[in-house]
Structure formats: C-alpha cells, structure tokens
Amino acid sequence: MLSTMQDVPLLVSRILQHGMTIHGRSRITTWTGEAEPHRRTFAEAGTRAHQLAHALRDELGVRPDERVATLMWNNAEHVEAYFAIPSMGAVLHTLNLRLPPEQLVWIVNHAADRVVLVNGSLLPLLVPLLPHLPTVEHVVVSGPGDRSGLDALPVRVHDYEDLIAGRPTRFDWPELDERQAAAMCYTSGTTGDPKGVVYSHRSVYLHSMQVNMTESMGLTDRDTSLIVVPQFHVNAWGLPHATFMTGIGMLMPDRFLQPAPLAEMIEREKPSHAAAVPTIWQGLLAEVTANPRDLTSMKQVTIGGSACPPALMEAYDRLGVRLCHAWGMTETSPLGTMAHPPAGLSAEEEWPYRITQGRFPAGVEARLVGPGGDVLPWDGESAGELEVRGNWIAAAYFGGVGAEPVRPEDKFSEDGWLKTGDVGVITSEGFLTLTDRAKDVIKSGGEWISSVELENALMAHPEIAEAAVVAVPDEKWGERPLATVVLRDGATADYSALREFLGGTIAKWQLPERWTAVDAVPKTSVGKFDKKKIRELHRLGQLEVTTLD
C-alpha cells in the first residue's frame, strides 16, 4: 500500500524561493573593514541569484551537471552562487583557498571546472594556477582586485556585477531529481589525493532541516549567525542553506578573519550565534583578554572541526558565551553530533555531557567497530572506530568526469557504512566521546594513549597557548608521545613543570618524555592541528627535542 502524500522533490531552489519570499527581510551583512558593512536582504540576494543563473546559462553556456567553481570568501555574492548554481541544475564546487597550489590544480582538473567565480582579492592565488587548468574558460571576478595578470591568459574575464546587470529577475528553475548533484567539496588530502564528496539536493535539504532543529543549532529569524567557518569548508557547515529556511540573519566576515576584526564585528553587530573551529576561538579569547570587548550577545557558539579543549569552554563560560561541541566531517555534510546536555541538569551536572562530541540526530545512525571487525556496545567504555550512515552521509567519492564513484575499502564497509577514522566511545544515551583519530592514537607497549586527552590537559595550563601531541618511534615501547607546545608571551614554565602538571590528571605511564616548543602549531587548510607535518618535521630532525629522564 502506498501513501496518499504528494511527491515534491527536495530541491535547493525551493529553499531559495522560501527564503527570498517568506524571509525576504532577513539580511546578509558582509564585513568590509570600513565604517559600515554591506547589507543585502534575502529578497535582494535571491533576485540576484536568479540573475546570476541567467548569466551563467545565457552568457557562459553553463549546462546541467556542469561544475562551477567558487574561490571566494564568506560574503553575499558567495551566498548568491550557493543558490543560483545548484538551482539551475549545475553543481556548485567550492575551492578551499588554503590548500597548497598543487592540490588546487589537481582538484579543478579532476572536477573539470569550466567556470570559476573568484573574489578580486584572491586573484593573486588564482592567476598563477590558470596556466595549469586547461578546462577553465571563464573567470568571473567579484569585487576589487588587480586583474592585469589575467590579460595574457587564454580565459574570458567577466566582472560579476556587469555580468548579472540587466538580466531577467526570474529564472524558471527546472524540476530536478532530488538525488541529482547540487554541490561538491574535496577533502583536504592529508593522505593521498583529495577526495571529492558530492552532495545531492535531497541531502542538502534534509541536512538544512536538521541544522535548524532545536537539538542542533535551533536558530530562528530572531537570530543572527556569525559564519566564520568558511563557505569552502563543507558548505559552511550547512548554515547558508539553513538560514534561508528559517530567516536567520547572516554576518559574513569576508577576508577579515583576524581576532581583532572578529571581536569588533561581534560587539557592533551583536550576533546571537557563531560557528568556527577551536583555533578561531582561541585567538579571539587572547584578543578580548588583552582588549576587552562585549561578546555577550552570542547565546551559543557551535565549535567543531577538532576537539575543543575544556579549558577553552570554561574561559568562554566566564565571558558569558556558551560553546557547544559538534562533530562532523566533509563526508557527513557535516552535522554528525551536537553536545546539548539532557534537560533538568545543574550546570555542574551538565559539564560531563558538554565536553563530549554530543548526541546523534535522528538522521545519523552510528556504530563502533573493534579491531577485529566486531560491533561494540554503547557502554561508555568500549572504544572502537566510529562508523556512520544516514541521509546526508557519503556513500562513495567522486571518481572523475564520466567515471564511476569510488568506494575505497578503508573508507567504506562492505555493508555501506562510512568509516570515519575517529576512535571513541558512546554511552547508552548516545553521547559520543572521541578519544583520537585512528591514525593519531599513540600505541605504546601494547596500550593506547590518547593524543587528544594529553593536548586538552596541556592547554589547561595557564602558560600554554597551543599544544599538539603525536606518536614518535621508541625502541623500547614502539611509540611514545612527543608534546609540541606554544608558550604564551612571558611564560616561565619548563618541560619538567609541564610534565608534573600533567601528572595531576594523566596516568604516569602516559606522560611524555619528549618535548619541543614552536612559535605556532602547524595547521591544516581548515584550521586543525597538522600532526602529519609535526611527524614529518620530527622525522627530518627539524625539531629541537628535549628528552626528560
């Protein structure tokens, strides 16, 4: 027996039309670094998205399923591209501007992008790459920037505003199959070539609904979200699509991502929500400690990308800002968990829940798999690799134009679950605690040491700004931890004192003997600690390591 319900495809174009009509007065505010930011309503941005679609189809000849790349900061024009490209049946391909040039070249060629939308300020990054991008025929430049480097290249150059000016303000959006590709992101390629994850209209729509649920970010048209997480990083965690569903205002930082302008944005524009990786909030904390600002408008901050040190959460609690842990990855769209404690608890009782990665929403199924392939119980003690499946979870990687999707055995189980590479435990209530990445666990004398636990403990020390711990070879134990620390200005703590400090919370046999200090912990393109780089520096003998007795 079938239902009597209508079968209306879940499409990005429907999110766009809803946002520009029902929530047409909501605004996208883009920081300019000047006295007044740029403001554009959802209705205005939506109309311009219609015009952009006409320009891409009528002037540039963009066809259905064709990839259109964006190399842009978080701003209103990027939001317009977010909606115009998939709504017309093409595929939005966001380029990570922090990747090494050789990886960007590989990604653009693998996706066979023919059109690139770029902010003028990013032309110095794009222009040297273009001779190596044979598929790119059109470059659309938004905003000021030196375009002279484009003159000698075999590409047609268009100004964004000139391109959309005078175009019809209504595009007849096609009725697409909701399983058709809407957008794609590539992983950062920390091991091997980057891998392409292709999101469907259906997955984007369902993920956006989940972002808006109260057990997730739970925002409404009374809120404004400071979207620091880049639009090239898993679709800015789904926020641009989610905001058009519920009318949440967007505060977009453009290229002004340093702690001082972020603090000014918060104080002046008073967002009620923000989203970014821990390193952003560590930098902001240092800024507002030195130069106090009013941050209390932010009721909630979604923090993910890597584990948030509990000491950082406590510091923001004292400022009246609540950090909420989330977990996800490119392959999960990215929302996988959020750490909202159960109802009816005191602040003290909430704390053990807040420092987990959180609970799984209804759209995400999870299991833990042990080294022998056995599925482990949710008892809060049995540790295994996290595997997930669901409506917005990848089932494969993009194999290239005209090629079949790729399903590597180390990434997908035989029965279709995504192997996340994260090791952790799950309680009977469904709260996930990640103890490490599988590749970062320190295997010492037949036992596991969590690098994340050591890092969190170190960053609770008042004289430590950053800390990353990696496994290094050891003749006796196989592997031992190397602690890489960044000391705050004027710090006097030595390695012995730091090791003694760790001894207050960490088992003695897990304490690092090897220590090194650096000016800054290397970061990946999305702001995570680059442990692969630290291990390589150690292997090459480029770190000054002190070994304690």
Catalytic residues: 187, 331, 443, 448
Give the number of C-alpha atoms closer than 13 A to the C-alpha of residue 504, restricted to the C-beta side. 8
Between CA 56 and CA 62 the distance in angstroms is 5
CA angle 33, 38, 39 (to 5 degrees): 145
Q: Which residues pair with 487 in a beta bridge?
A: 464
Cα distance between residue 147 and residue 408, in whole Å: 41
**What is the Cα–Cα distance from 471 to 480, expressed in whole angstroms?**
6
Q: Are residues 113 and 136 in contact, defined by beta-carbon separation less than 8 angstroms?
A: yes
Q: Which of 312, 357, 69, 289 is nearest to 196 (CA)?
A: 69
Longest dimension (CA), the chain: 74
Which residue is listed with tokens 């952009």? 52
The conformational region for residue 156 under phi > 0 = left, psi -120 to 50 = alpha, else beta, is beta
Q: Which two tokens stand for residue 150?
A: 């484009």
User: What ranges in 40-75 are assigned the alpha helix state H?
Assistant: 42-54
Burial 467-487 (b: 16+ CB within 10 A, else e): bbbbbbebeebebbbbbbbbb
Residue 13, SS3 per DSSP: helix
Distance CA 315, CA 318 (A): 5
Distance CA 271, CA 380 (A): 36
